[in-house]
């Protein structure tokens, strides 16, 4: 479980789960989490303690993508110089050397058994008259291997574009056209060996943090298709455009897949705060860093929006599970197990204690500091009538 100050389960987790049986939605606080927004350089990360983080989820500025040239040149003026001179490979390498410093910090702050998930796209660009691919994902894998993190199977996130001019080069004539890039990577690494769950409390929390069998089948697939969806509207659209924000669903899934309720999630390149919102919506604590104060203000709004977003996403999940159960029963394949908190059928014994939490309160407790309380979700949490009150 996360150990960021006051983070953690409230009372004995096992007692809470058992006491709540058959009564999801009791307003009782089952978890408290903390959330910090830091105006800090991720290459230094002075505000984050060693081995205090269970999972890093982030998307850096992409080397050799023009929109980030200024950010990289500000980190190292030599990068700007190399770009001006058209020295493409030198610029690419120098940009990655700045990111390498952030990956080293991530490794420092991760607990043993913790994960680092990095969403990155390769870049295509014409520089000095030559069109080339800049393999960002390969360079990051190499950097992570060098600092001793273990690479795990990654996810190819397919992002189709409808742009009419998406095919580059010589059209229907051979030998002069280029394949169109419509995917990014979600690279996954672990620090050291697998996490152990040595105590009863730890094992019970792990059971409560389970996801549905049918979610496992989709989320642990190595190709994620178009993820734009209901929650894409999180936050201010202009800020999201400026920071190249990823959809809420990206960090939300990774949080469910790789962490337990109460764990601590870090995004060293927070932008508009999508990762912190996903962590808060999932009863995980969060720390987010950015160097742009305007984006941190957007991140604050995203955190305050997390309770509404959580209710909506949890309702979608419960509704999707209800439909799944109906289809299985209609197909003559009833499910063998029963989930204790909600009373509905589930496929496996690993899902019997699964309980989704939503924030019941999110409070600002100081400059860049927030606390949330979390209660068990009820099937009415996504009630459409409440959505009119959402701030975005």
Residue 32 in contact with residue 7, Cβ under 8 Å?
yes
Q: Which stretch binds ligand SAM (CB under 6 A): 39-47, 110-118, 131-139, 166-174?
A: 39-47
Calculate ∠ Cα 141-274-322, nearest 5°. 100
Whole-number Å distance between alpha carbons of 109 and 36: 15
Q: Does 69 bind ligand SAM (CB under 6 A)?
A: no
Q: Which stretch binds ligand SAM (CB under 6 A): 104-112, 243-251, 280-288, 313-321?
A: 243-251
Q: Does 295 bind ligand SAM (CB under 6 A)?
A: yes
| Residue list 264-283, contact with ligand SAM (CB under 6 A) | 269, 271-272, 274
Q: Which ranges constitute the DSSP H helices of the chain? A: 13-19, 69-75, 77-84, 88-109, 136-146, 200-208, 213-219, 237-242, 249-258, 274-281, 293-330, 384-387
Quote the least distance from Cβ 63 to ligand SAM, whole Å.
Answer: 11
Quote the least distance from Cβ 303 to ligand SAM, whole Å.
Answer: 13
Indicate left, alpha or beta for 381 from its phi (over 0: left) and psi (-120 to 50: alpha): alpha
* Radius of gyration for the alpha carbons in the chain, expressed in angstroms and rounded: 22
CA distances from 311 to 145, 190, 215, 323, 381 (A): 39, 30, 18, 18, 5
Q: Which stretch binds ligand SAM (CB under 6 A): 212-220, 244-252, 362-370, 374-382?
A: 244-252
Q: Does 224 bind ligand SAM (CB under 6 A)?
A: no
Query: Quick check: helix, strand or coil at residue 264?
Result: strand
Q: Does 59 bind ligand SAM (CB under 6 A)?
A: yes
Whole-number Å distance between alpha carbons of 91 and 122: 15
Q: Which stretch binds ligand SAM (CB under 6 A): 27-35, 41-49, 278-286, 342-350?
A: 41-49
| Residue list 317-376, contact with ligand SAM (CB under 6 A) | none
Quote the least distance from Cβ 61 to ligand SAM, whole Å.
Answer: 5
Q: Does 71 bind ligand SAM (CB under 6 A)?
A: yes
Quote the least distance from Cβ 50 to ligand SAM, whole Å.
Answer: 18
Among 156, 244, 294, 335, binds ligand SAM (CB under 6 A): 244
Q: Which stretch binds ligand SAM (CB under 6 A): 166-174, 208-216, 284-292, 338-346?
A: 284-292
Q: What are phi and psi of 335, to 5 degrees?
A: -85, 145
Q: Does 73 bind ligand SAM (CB under 6 A)?
A: no
State the pairing for strand pair 285-290/264-267. parallel
Q: Does 286 bind ligand SAM (CB under 6 A)?
A: no
Q: Does 61 bind ligand SAM (CB under 6 A)?
A: yes
Indicate left, alpha or beta for 115 from its phi (over 0: left) and psi (-120 to 50: alpha): beta
Q: Give the nearer residue to ligand SAM in terms of CB position, either 7 or 245.
A: 245
Q: Which stretch binds ligand SAM (CB under 6 A): 55-63, 146-154, 175-183, 382-390?
A: 55-63
Among 14, 25, 41, 147, binds ligand SAM (CB under 6 A): 41
Residue 104 in contact with residue 42, Cβ under 8 Å?
no
Query: Quick check: helix, strand or coil at residue 367?
Result: coil
Q: Give the nearer residue to ligand SAM in terms of CB position, either 242 or 317.
A: 242
The CB-nearest residue to ligand SAM is 271
Q: What is the DSSP letter of 283?
A: T
Q: 197-212: buried (b, 16+ CB within 10 Å) or exposed (e) per residue?
A: eeeebeebbbbbbbbb
Residue 339's CB: how many other CB atoms inside 10 A? 20
Q: For the window 246-265, what string marks contact with ligand SAM as x by the rule CB under 6 A?
A: x-------------------
Binding-site size, ligand SAM (CB under 6 A): 20
Q: What are phi and psi of 304, to 5 degrees?
A: -70, -20
Quote the least distance from Cβ 274 to ligand SAM, whole Å.
Answer: 3
Q: Which stretch binds ligand SAM (CB under 6 A): 6-14, 144-152, 196-204, 242-250?
A: 242-250
Binding site for ligand SAM (CB under 6 A): 41-43, 59-61, 71, 243-246, 269, 271-272, 274, 289-292, 295
């Amino acid at each position: 479980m996360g150990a960021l100050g006051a983070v953690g389960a409230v009372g004995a987790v096992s007692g809470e789960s058992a006491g709540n049986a058959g009564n999801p939605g009791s307003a009782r606080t089952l978890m408290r989490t903390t959330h910090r927004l830091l105006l800090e350089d991720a290459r230094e990360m002075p505000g984050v303690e060693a081995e205090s983080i269970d999972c890093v989820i982030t998307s850096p500025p992409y080397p050799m993508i023009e929109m980030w040239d200024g950010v990289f040149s500000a980190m190292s003026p030599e990068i700007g110089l190399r770009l001006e001179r058209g020295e493409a490979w030198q610029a690419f390498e120098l940009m990655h050397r700045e990111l390498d410093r952030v990956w080293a910090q991530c490794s420092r702050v991760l607990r043993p058994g913790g994960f680092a998930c990095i969403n990155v796209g390769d870049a295509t660009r014409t520089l000095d008259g030559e069109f080339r691919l800049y393999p960002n994902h390969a360079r990051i894998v190499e950097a992570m291997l060098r600092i001793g993190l273990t690479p795990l199977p990654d996810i190819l996130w397919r992002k189709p574009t409808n742009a009419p001019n998406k095919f580059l080069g010589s059209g229907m004539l051979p030998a002069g056209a280029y394949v169109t890039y419509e995917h990014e990577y979600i690279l996954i690494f672990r620090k050291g060996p697998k996490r152990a769950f040595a105590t009863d409390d730890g094992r019970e929390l792990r059971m409560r943090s389970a996801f549905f069998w049918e979610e496992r089948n989709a989320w642990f697939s190595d190709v994620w298709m178009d993820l734009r969806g209901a929650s894409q509207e999180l936050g201010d659209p202009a800020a999201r455009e400026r920071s190249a924000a990823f959809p809420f669903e990206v960090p939300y899934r990774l949080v469910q897949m790789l962490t337990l309720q109460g764990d601590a999630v870090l995004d060293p390149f927070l932008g508009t705060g999508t990762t912190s919102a996903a962590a808060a919506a999932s009863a995980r604590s969060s720390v987010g860093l950015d160097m742009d104060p305007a984006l941190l203000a957007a991140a604050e709004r995203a955190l305050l929006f997390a309770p509404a977003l959580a209710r909506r996403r949890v309702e979608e999940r419960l509704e999707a599970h209800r439909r799944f159960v109906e289809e299985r029963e209609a197909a003559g394949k009833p499910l063998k197990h029963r989930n204790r908190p909600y009373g509905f059928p589930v496929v496996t014994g690993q899902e019997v204690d699964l309980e989704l939490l939503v924030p019941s309160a999110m409070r600002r407790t100081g400059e860049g500091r927030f606390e949330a309380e979390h209660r068990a979700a009820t099937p009415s949490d996504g009630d459409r009538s409440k959505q009119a009150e959402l701030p975005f």
